[in-house]
Amino acid sequence: MWLMRYSSIPSAQLVVQHCKAKKIKNIVISPGSRNAPLTIDFSEDPYFKCFSIVDERSAGFFALGIAQQLHEPVALVCTSGSALLNYYPAVAEAFYSGIPIVVISADRPVYKIDVGDGQTIRQDNVFDRHIGYSANLRQDVSHALPRVKKYAPEYLSGGSVEALQEEVQQNNDEELNIALNLALRLKLPVHINVPFEEPLYDTIVEPTVTADIVQDTDVNEWDFSEIGDFTDIWEASAKKMVLVGVNPPNAVEQRFLDVLATDPSVVVLTETTSNLHHPNFFTSIDSLVAPMEKSDEADSLFSRLRPEILLTFGGLVVSKKIKAFLREYRPDHHWHIDELKAFDTFFSLTHHFKTDANTFFKYFMDGLRSRASDYYAFLDTRRSQYEARREVYLGQIPFSDMLAFEHVLRNIPNAYQLQLANSSTVRYAQLFDLDPSLRIFCNRGTSGIDGSTSTAVGAAFYSETPTLLISGDLSFLYDSNGLWNNYIRSDFRIVVINNNGGGIFRILPGQEETENYETFFETAHEKNVAHLSAQFGFEYVLANDLTSLKDRLKDFYKKSDTPKILEIHTPRILNNKILLGYFDFISSRRLI
In sequence order, the 6+-apart residues with CB closer than 8 A to the CB of 123 are 80, 84, 105, 107, 193
Q: What is the pLDDT of residue 171?
A: 98
- 3 versus 389: the higher-pLDDT residue is 389
Q: Does position 197 have pLDDT exceeding 70, yes or no?
A: yes
- Once rounded to an integer, what is the mean pLDDT over residues 343-364? 96
Q: Which helix (H) or strand (E) holds 470?
A: strand 467-472
- Once rounded to an integer, what is the mean pLDDT over residues 514-522? 57
- 513 versus 113: the higher-pLDDT residue is 113
Q: What is the pLDDT of residue 590?
A: 47
pLDDT in tens, 401-415: 999 999 999 999 999
> Whole-angstrom Cα distance, residue 530 to residue 527?
9
Q: What is the pLDDT of residue 591?
A: 42
pLDDT in tens, 330-340: 999 999 999 99
Which of these, 156, 157, 138, lies nearest to 197 by C-alpha position? 138
Tell me the three state secondary structure of residue 112. helix
CA 237 to chain centre: 35
Q: What is the pLDDT of residue 502?
A: 53
Q: What is the pLDDT of residue 517?
A: 54
Q: What is the pLDDT of residue 511?
A: 57
- Once rounded to an integer, what is the mean pLDDT over residues 96-125? 94
Band of pLDDT at residue 501, cut at 50, 70 and 90: low
> Percentage of residues in the chain with pLDDT exceeding 90?
86
Q: pTM score, two decimals? A: 0.94
Given the DSSP bridges, would you call strands 240-244 and 266-269 parallel, antiparallel or unpaired? parallel
> Percentage of residues in the chain with pLDDT exceeding 70?
94
CB atoms within 10 A of CB 74: 28
Q: What is the pLDDT of residue 3?
A: 78
Crossing angle of helices 227-236 and 357-364, rounded to 10°: 70
Average pLDDT, the chain: 93
**Domains of the chain by range and CATH?**
11-198 (3.40.50.970), 228-381 (3.40.50.1220), 399-573 (3.40.50.970)
Q: Does position 507 have pLDDT exceeding 70, yes or no?
A: no
Q: Does position 565 have pLDDT exceeding 80, yes or no?
A: yes
Q: Does position 512 have pLDDT exceeding 70, yes or no?
A: no
